[in-house]
C-alpha cells in the first residue's frame, strides 16, 4: 500500500483542532488561518461504565492513562497510527504484564480510503536457536528452559515495529509520541487497582531476578493502589528510543545492557541479533462473513487464517435461528473451532520459513468441504493420533484506535506470559519476553498434556514463532465498522470469532457483542470451556448429550474495541468489562 495513504489531510487536522461549527464559519469566511479555539476535552469511560460515544476519535485499551495518552495525540491532530504508537509506549509503563518494549506483536491498519495493511513485529529466534534448544543435558524436553530461562527470550520487535509503522503511515513527530511514556516512567503515575493486584501476584516469581524486584516493587513490598510508581531506568530507555528511534534500542546503551544480561544468564541474543532485527509489512488476511468484510493478521500469526476459516464454516448455518447461547449455537461454534485448531496445528507457522496454504484454508470452497465433517447432532472427536496442542499462556494486551478521518488501527502485542520471562534488563528497567515458548517443544514430541511435535513451528535461526494474536478490523458495505482483538493465548482467535459472529449473525450492538459470554475449544484437549456466565444445568446437559465434555472458566479475553455508528459517524469505544483498569477515551 502506498505510504501516502496514511497521511492525514490538512483539513482533518484542522477538524481535530476546531469545533465543526466554528470551522464552517472560518472556511465560509475564506479565512486563511483558523481562529484559535480551546482544544476539546478528552473524555474517558471506564470498562465498568459501558461504552464511550465520541464525535471525532476514540481509543480503547487495558489502562485508562494509556487510552487518554492516545486520545490526546488524536485530539492534537495525530492520526490513528500516531496514537497507536503513543498508546503502545504508554502501556509499556502502565501495563507491564503485557505492554512492552521487550516483546513483540502485530498491527492492522485501515486507511480512510479503505486500504488495509499488516505490520509484523513478532519476535524472532536468535541466530543461535535450533530445534533442540529446549532439551536439557539428558536430552529431555524442559518446560523451564522453554518458558522460564534466558533462552526463552526472543529478539524483541516492538520498537522496530512502531518505527516502521510511523515511517510509513504516521504523521506526528516521533519524539512527541514517545514523550508521554517517558513522563509516566520518569515522574510516576498512580497505581490502579488491577495493576496493584497484578504486581502483588507476580512478585514471588521475580525473586531470581534482583533487577525485577527493584523495578516492580518497593524494596520487595508490593505497590499498593494509589502509590505513585516511578521507573527511572525504564524512563532512560524510553528517552533513548525517543531521541534515536530504533537505534536507541537495538544499538548503543540499551542493546549493550540487554546483551550483558543475556551473557549473565546464558541467553542467546547477541548484538548482531539485535542489529539484524527488522519489522515487516505484510498483506493482511481478508475474508467476509454475512455482509462484513474482515481484515486480520497473516502468518506468523495463525489468528487471521483461523478466524476467516471459522467464519467461512459458520456462514453456512442459521446461527440466529438457533438462538444466541443455545446448545445448537455453541455446538456449531465448537465444531468449527475443533476443525480450525486442527488445521492450525498442522499447517501454521512463519510463512517466511514454511509454505502455509493460507489461500486454501481461507477459501469458501474448503469451508464447504469442512461443513460436511460437522454432525449437527453429535460432537466430533479430536483424535490423539492427530496433532496435539500445548496449553498456552493467556497474557497479552490489545488496543483499538479510530481517528477523526476514519483511519483505524488494531494492535495486539505481548511478552508471551504475564510479565514475560520475569527478567528485567538491569539498568534498562524493562522486561524481556519469553516468546520462544511459542515454538514447538521438539520434533515428534506429543503428549497427553498437550505438547505439539509438528515440524513447521520448530525453533530455527531468525524464524518467528507461531502466534494466535488476531488484531482485526471489520468493515460493512465498504465502510469502517469495528476494530477488535484480545489477549488470551490460544483463546484469542475464538474470542475475536465470537465478537464478529455476534455482530454479523446476531446483529448485536457493540457493547452487547463484547460483553456476551464466550466459549473455547482448541481441538485438543477435546472439551469446550464456557465462561461461568453460561453455567446452567440445562445447557450443560444439552451439550453433554451432544457428546461434549464441558468445563467452566473465568473471563475469556478482554476485547478493548472501537466502532463507528454508521447512522451518525459517532465513534464508540468499548473497553471490555472483563478488564479491571481498562477504559475508552476520546473526544
Rounded to a whole number of angstroms, the minimum distance from the CB of residue 367 to ligand GLY is 23
- Residue 438 makes contact with ligand GLY by CB under 6 A: yes
* 3-state SS class at 105: strand
Alpha helices in 315-417 (DSSP H): 319-322, 327-347, 358-361, 364-371
Q: How many CB atoms lie within 10 A of CB 270?
A: 18
Cβ of residue 304: shortest distance to ligand GLY, in angstroms?
12
Among 63, 414, 421, 561, binds ligand GLY (CB under 6 A): 414
Proportion of the chain in helix, strand, coil states, percent, rounded to 5: 40, 15, 45
123 binds ligand GLY (CB under 6 A): no
**Residue 254 CB, nearest approach to ligand GLY (Å):** 23
Closest CA to 504 of 254, 267, 290: 290
**Residue 350 within binding range of ligand GLY, rule CB under 6 A:** no
Q: What cell was used for 375? A: 454432525
Q: In a 3-state reduction of DSSP, which class is residue 110?
A: strand
Site for ligand GLY in 357-376 (CB under 6 A): none
Catalytic residue of the set 94, 111, 362, 396: 396
Provide the b/e sequence for 140-154 (b: ≥16 CB within 10 Å).
ebbeebbbbbbbbbb
Residue 457 within binding range of ligand GLY, rule CB under 6 A: no
Helix (H) or strand (E) holding 228: strand 228-229
8 vs 165: CA distance, rounded Å = 14
Q: Which of 87, 432, 469, 582 binds ligand GLY (CB under 6 A)?
A: 469
3-state secondary structure of 357: coil
Count of Cβ atoms closer than 10 Å to residue 196 Cβ: 20
CB of 431 to ligand GLY, least distance (A): 14
For residues 339 and 134, give the distance between their C-alpha atoms in angstroms, rounded to a whole number.
Answer: 29
Question: How far is the first Cα of the chain from the last one, in angstroms, to the nearest whole number?
Answer: 29
Residue number with CB closer to ligand GLY (396 or 529): 396
Instruction: Supply angle C-alpha 325, 337, 373, rounded to 5.
Output: 105
CB of residue 123 to ligand GLY, shortest distance in Å: 9
Q: Is residue 489 a contact point for ligand GLY (CB under 6 A)?
A: yes
310: Cβ–Cβ under 8 A, 6 or more apart, which residues? 336, 337, 340, 493, 494, 497
467 binds ligand GLY (CB under 6 A): yes
Q: Are 116 and 284 in contact (CB under 8 A)?
A: yes
Residues 280, 164: Cα–Cα separation, whole Å: 8
Is 416 a binding residue for ligand GLY by CB under 6 A? The answer is yes
Give the shortest CB-394-to-ligand GLY separation in angstroms.
8
Q: Is 396 a catalytic residue?
A: yes
Q: What is the DSSP string of 517-539?
A: --EE--SSS--EEEEGGG--HHH
Q: Near ligand GLY by CB under 6 A, which window of 22-30, 74-82, 420-428, 465-473?
A: 465-473
Q: For ligand GLY, which stretch binds (CB under 6 A), given 91-99, 313-321, 463-471, 497-505?
A: 463-471
For 351, 442, 535, the CA distances from 42, given in Å and listed in that order, are: 41, 50, 39
Ranked by CB distance to ligand GLY, the top (closest) residue is 467
**Grid cell listed for 584:** 475508552
What letter does residue 406 receive in the DSSP assignment?
S
Window of 232-240, 340-348, 462-470, 542-550 that interacts with ligand GLY by CB under 6 A: 462-470
d(CA 476, CA 55): 20
∠ Cα 342 348 354 (to 5°): 140
Using the rule CB under 6 A, give the single segment among 205-213, 279-287, 466-474, 573-581 that binds ligand GLY: 466-474
The nearer residue to ligand GLY, 468 or 502, going by C-beta atoms, is 468
| 149 versus 396: smaller Cβ distance to ligand GLY | 396
- Is residue 434 at the binding interface for ligand GLY, with CB under 6 A as the rule? no
Residues 385-404 that bind ligand GLY (CB under 6 A): 396
| Shortest reach from residue 466's CB to ligand GLY, in Å | 8
Q: Select 239 or 416, whichever has its Cβ closest to ligand GLY.
A: 416
| The length of the chain, given as a count of residues | 587
The residue (of 382 and 414) whose beta carbon lies closer to ligand GLY is 414
Q: Output the smallest distance, CB 420 to ligand GLY, in A.
A: 9
**Cβ 438 to ligand GLY shortest distance, Å:** 5
Residue 296, strand partner residues: 285
Per CB under 6 A, does 336 bind ligand GLY?
Answer: no
Closer CB to ligand GLY, 185 or 451, in the complex: 451
Q: Which of 60, 79, 457, 468 binds ligand GLY (CB under 6 A)?
A: 468
Distance CA 377, CA 375 (A): 5
**Which range touches ligand GLY (CB under 6 A), out of 109-117, 401-409, 461-469, 543-551?**
461-469
CB of 436 vs ligand GLY, minimal distance in Å: 10
Q: Which is nearer to ligand GLY, 72 or 438 (CB)?
A: 438
Q: Please say whether the dihedral angle defined by the alpha carbons of residues 25, 57, 69 and 180, taken in this order, is positive or negative.
A: negative
Nearer to ligand GLY, 60 or 390 (CB): 390
For the beta carbon of residue 272, count every other beta carbon within 10 angstroms. 12
Nearer to ligand GLY, 106 or 506 (CB): 106
Number of residues that bind ligand GLY (CB under 6 A): 8
Q: Which is nearer to ligand GLY, 439 or 563 (CB)?
A: 439
CB of 465 to ligand GLY, least distance (A): 7
- Taking the C-alpha atoms of residue 257 and residue 278, their distance in angstroms, rounded to an integer, is 20
Residue position matching grid coordinates 478493548? 560
- Residue 499: in which H helix or E strand, if any? helix 491-504
Pick between residue 217 and residue 351 the one whose CB is nearest to ligand GLY.
Answer: 351
Residues lying near ligand GLY in the complex (CB under 6 A) are found at 396, 414, 416, 438, 467-469, 489
Please identify every residue annotated as catalytic. Answer: 396
Amino acid at each position: 500500500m502506498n505510504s501516502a495513504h496514511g497521511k492525514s489531510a490538512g483539513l482533518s487536522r484542522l477538524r481535530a483542532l476546531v469545533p465543526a461549527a466554528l470551522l464552517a464559519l472560518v472556511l465560509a469566511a475564506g479565512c486563511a488561518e483558523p481562529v484559535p479555539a480551546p482544544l476539546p476535552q478528552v473524555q474517558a469511560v471506564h470498562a465498568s461504565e459501558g461504552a464511550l460515544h465520541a464525535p471525532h476519535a476514540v481509543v480503547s485499551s487495558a489502562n485508562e492513562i494509556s487510552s487518554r495518552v492516545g486520545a490526546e495525540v488524536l485530539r492534537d491532530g495525530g492520526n490513528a497510527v500516531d496514537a497507536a504508537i503513543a498508546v503502545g509506549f504508554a502501556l509499556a509503563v502502565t501495563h507491564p504484564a503485557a505492554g512492552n518494549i521487550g516483546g513483540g506483536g502485530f498491527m492492522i491498519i485501515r486507511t480512510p480510503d479503505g486500504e488495509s495493511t499488516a505490520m509484523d513485529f513478532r519476535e524472532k529466534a536468535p541466530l543461535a536457536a535450533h530445534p533442540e534448544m529446549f532439551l536439557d543435558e539428558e536430552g529431555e524436553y524442559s518446560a523451564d528452559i522453554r518458558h522460564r530461562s534466558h533462552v526463552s527470550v526472543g529478539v524483541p520487535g516492538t520498537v522496530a515495529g512502531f518505527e516502521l509503522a510511523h515511517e510509513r503511515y504516521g504523521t506526528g513527530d516521533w519524539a512527541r509520541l514517545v514523550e508521554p511514556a517517558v513522563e509516566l516512567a520518569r515522574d510516576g503515575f498512580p497505581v490502579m487497582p488491577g495493576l496493584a493486584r497484578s504486581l502483588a501476584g507476580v512478585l514471588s516469581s521475580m525473586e531470581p531476578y534482583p533487577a525485577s524486584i527493584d523495578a516492580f516493587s518497593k524494596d520487595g513490598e508490593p505497590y499498593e493502589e494509589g502509590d505513585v510508581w516511578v521507573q527511572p531506568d525504564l524512563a532512560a530507555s524510553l528517552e533513548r528510543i525517543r531521541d534515536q528511534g530504533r537505534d536507541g534500542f537495538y544499538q548503543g546503551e540499551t542493546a549493550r545492557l540487554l546483551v550483558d544480561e543475556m551473557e549473565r544468564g546464558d541467553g542467546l541474543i547477541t548484538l548482531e541479533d539485535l542489529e539484524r532485527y527488522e519489522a515487516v509489512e505484510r498483506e493482511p488476511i481478508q475474508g467476509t462473513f454475512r455482509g462484513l468484510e474482515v481484515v486480520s493478521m497473516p502468518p506468523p500469526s495463525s489468528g487471521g487464517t483461523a478466524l476467516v476459516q471459522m467464519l467461512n464454516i459458520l456462514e453456512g448455518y442459521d446461527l440466529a435461528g438457533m438462538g444466541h447461547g443455545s446448545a445448537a449455537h455453541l455446538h456449531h461454534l465448537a465444531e468449527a473451532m475443533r476443525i480450525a485448531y486442527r488445521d492450525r496445528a498442522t499447517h501454521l507457522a512463519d510463512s517466511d520459513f514454511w509454505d502455509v496454504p493460507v489461500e486454501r484454508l481461507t477459501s469458501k470452497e474448503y469451508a464447504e468441504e469442512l461443513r460436511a465433517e460437522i454432525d449437527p447432532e453429535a460432537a466430533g472427536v479430536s483424535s490423539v493420533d492427530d496433532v496435539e496442542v500445548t496449553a498456552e499462556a493467556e497474557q497479552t494486551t490489545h488496543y483499538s484506535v479510530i481517528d477523526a478521518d476514519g483511519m483505524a488501527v488494531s494492535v495486539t502485542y505481548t511478552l508471551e506470559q504475564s510479565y514475560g520471562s520475569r527478567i528485567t534488563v538491569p539498568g534498562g528497567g524493562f522486561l524481556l519476553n519469553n516468546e520462544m515458548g511459542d515454538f514447538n517443544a521438539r520434533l515428534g514430541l506429543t503428549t497427553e498434556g498437550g505438547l505439539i511435535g509438528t515440524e513447521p513451528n520448530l525453533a530455527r535461526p531468525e524464524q518467528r514463532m507461531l502466534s494466535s494474536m488476531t488484531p482485526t478490523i471489520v468493515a460493512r458495505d465498504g465502510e469502517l465498522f469495528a476494530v477488535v482483538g484480545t489477549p488470551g493465548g490460544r483463546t484469542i482467535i475464538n474470542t475475536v470469532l465470537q465478537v464478529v459472529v455476534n455482530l454479523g449473525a446476531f446483529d448485536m450492538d457493540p457493547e452487547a457483542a463484547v460483553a456476551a459470554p464466550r466459549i473455547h475449544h482448541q481441538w485438543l484437549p477435546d472439551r469446550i470451556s464456557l465462561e461461568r456466565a453460561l453455567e446452567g444445568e440445562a445447557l450443560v446437559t444439552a451439550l453433554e448429550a451432544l457428546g461434549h465434555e464441558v468445563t467452566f472458566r473465568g473471563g475469556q479475553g478482554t476485547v478493548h474495541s472501537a466502532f463507528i455508528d454508521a447512522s451518525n459517524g459517532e465513534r464508540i469505544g468499548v473497553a471490555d468489562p472483563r478488564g479491571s483498569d481498562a477504559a475508552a477515551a476520546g473526544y
